[in-house]
Chains A and B, each alone.
Chain A
Amino acid sequence: QVQVVESGGGVVQPGRSLRLSCTASGFTFSNYGIHWVRQAPGKGLEWVGIIWYDGTETYYADSVKGRFTMSRDNSKDTVNLQMNSLSDADTAVYYCARGTYSTSPLMDVWGQGTTVIVSS
């Protein structure tokens, strides 16, 4: 079935790096943009960024710009989120979500999330 699955979460010290992955199945991955959205414990949703279907464009929330980088490998149906200079404020469940088309701002297929805890 159509799905996306996140992986790579864990506990990391402040200032360190972590890479999350989003692996898709059940659809033609190269036709769709992928978003990352995060949710801090007990808080609301925060859009993190989008990578277009072909990887040519990436856009980020101000809170992560310059620290987070998205990339994709359409031959492996995977998007990566490289997170550097992590701080407590980055502690959250990270969701990847499929855009409804190549550059769509709308998200119609969501993973179950992977948890990132930034703590010393």
Chain B
Amino acid sequence: EIVMTQSPATLSVSPGERATLSCRASQSISINVAWYQQKPGQAPRLLIFGASTRATDIPARFSGSGSGREFTLSISSLQSEDSATYYCQQYSDWPPRHTFGQGTKLEIK
């Protein structure tokens, strides 16, 4: 099973600044990674797929990068509404076992 490890567990950033979230895969997964945002009491929302492609209606402030084992989600010009937990998910393995990372909780100071 491919294990996804996210860091840090919690990140506190001021409004208007940039947040950088990391995700590492236990083996190479090419660009087969997605990022989801989950706010308290809500279902997750797809942000990024293919490591760097924004999903429909996702603001350009959200960007993804990486390939192989190392991936990054960057959020620029942080707003209070970005306060949430962010999960990476791999979809490289076959048969499918689309494992999630443990999440990074982003707090806006």
**Residues on A with beta carbons closer than 8 Å to the beta carbon of B45:** 110
Shortest Cβ gap from A28 to chain B (Å): 17
**Residues on B with beta carbons closer than 8 Å to the beta carbon of A59:** 95-97
Interface size on A, residues (CB 8 A): 21
A95 at the B interface (CB under 8 A): yes
- In the complex, the chain A residue whose C-beta lies closest to that of B99 is A47
**Residues on B with beta carbons closer than 8 Å to the beta carbon of A26:** none
**Residues on A with beta carbons closer than 8 Å to the beta carbon of B98:** 35, 47, 50, 105
Shortest Cβ gap from A15 to chain B (Å): 25
Instruction: Produce 1/0 per residue, A85-105, CB < 8 A to B.
Output: 000000000010100100001
B1 at the A interface (CB under 8 A): yes
Cα-based distance from A53 to B87 in the complex (angstroms): 25
Shortest Cβ gap from A67 to chain B (Å): 15
Interface SS of B by simple majority: loop
Q: Is the CB of B46 within 8 A of A107?
A: yes
Q: Is the CB of B97 within 8 A of A112?
A: no
Given contacts A59-B96, A59-B97, A61-B97, contact A105 B43 (CB under 8 A): no
Instruction: Produce 1/0 per residue, A32-49, CB < 8 A to B.
Output: 000101000000111100
**Residues on A with beta carbons closer than 8 Å to the beta carbon of B55:** 108
**Residues on B with beta carbons closer than 8 Å to the beta carbon of A113:** 43
Near A by CB (< 8 A), chain B positions 75-109 give 85, 87, 89, 91, 95-103
B62 at the A interface (CB under 8 A): no
**Residues on A with beta carbons closer than 8 Å to the beta carbon of B85:** 44
Residues of B within 8 A of A (CB): 1, 32, 34, 36, 38, 43-46, 49, 55-56, 85, 87, 89, 91, 95-103
